[in-house]
Structure 1
Amino acid sequence: MSTDELYGMPEPTAPPRRNGELAFDEPWESAVFGVTLGLCERGNIRFEDFQRRLVEEITAWERGPRNREWSYWTHWLAALERELAARNLLGSAEIDAKVSQILHSYTHAEPHGTHEH
């Protein structure tokens, strides 16, 4: 996926931004974004297919009960998981294990700014 494609993503699939820059609140969010771009660049998944799944995820959330918290990147992750499973790149158990591993590594990492360079 090119930068032009990313910047041209229609709402509601456009990633959140602050001051024109992509906005990530947690380290795992930027990691899942990077993984997705890497898979697209290598041709493992097509961005158009991923984007369709992202729209489906967001639409399902919008149609659901309103007491659920909004998280763009959670929808992004769910869309990626569905695309990987649909392409048989990873089975659902493997996806769950990888996601748990990634989330665990980020939740048990040193707080930002506490390590020395």
Structure 2
Amino acid sequence: MSITTDTTGPGAPPRANGELVFAAPWEGRAFGMAVALAESGRITWDEFRERLIARISVDPARAYYACWLAVLEEVLVGAGRIGDGEVGTRATRLAGRAAGHDHAPPHPSAERAG
């Protein structure tokens, strides 16, 4: 399955010159997680998109990717992929990790190749 995001309308992600724009790394990660989950059949893209549009219409002043993440959490909990309290527990644990925790040091062969 290939996911096509809206390019216009309330569900359209922020873009500049046609390219997706992320203000922070977590936004790109949240975007990628939703797309990967939909492409693998773990969530339904149409349901995700409809919920995102509804969420944005309820609170249009809220940041786009804050809505995106909230809907992703709702869809995952609704599908039984994660427990309702698990989201907060995981977020707290991850927030307590040291900066740079998600980046492995470069492989020694990469230094020789450069």
Q: Which residue of 2 aligns with 1:2?
A: 2
Match of 1:83 among 46, 54, 75: 75
List runs of 5+ in structure 1 lacking aligned partners.
63-68
C-alpha distance in 2 between matches for 1:87 and 1:48: 14
Per the normalisation by structure 1, the TM-score is: 0.74
Give CA deviations for 1:45-100 in whole Å, capped at 9, x if unaligned: 010010111012101103xxxxxx53100000011011011111101211223334
Aligned to 2:20: 22
Inter-partner Cα distance in structure 2 for 1:50 and 1:100: 24
Measure the CA separation in 1 of the matches of 2:82 and 2:32.
17
**AA matched with 1:82:** E
Could you say what the CA RMSD is over the residues aligned between the two structures, in angstroms?
2.5
- Residue segments in structure 2 that go unaligned for 5+ positions in a row: none
The number of aligned residues is 104
1:66 maps to none
When normalised by structure 2's length, the TM-score is 0.76
Relative contact order, CA 8 A, sep 6+: which one is greater?
A: 1
For 1:16-58, what per-residue CA distance to the aligned partner results, in whole angstroms no more than 9, with x for missing partners? Answer: 0011100001000000111111100110001001011101210
Aligned counterpart for 2:100 among listed residues 85, 106, 109: 109
Matched, 1:99 2:81: no
Identity of aligned residues (%): 33
Could you tell me how far apart the structure 1 residues matched to 2:82 and 2:64 are? 23
Once residues 2 and 85 of structure 1 are traced to their aligned partners in structure 2, the CA distance between those partners, rounded to angstroms, is 23
Structure 2 distance, partners of 1:33, 1:48, is 15
Task: Determine which structure has more spread, i.e. the larger CA radius of gyration.
Answer: 2
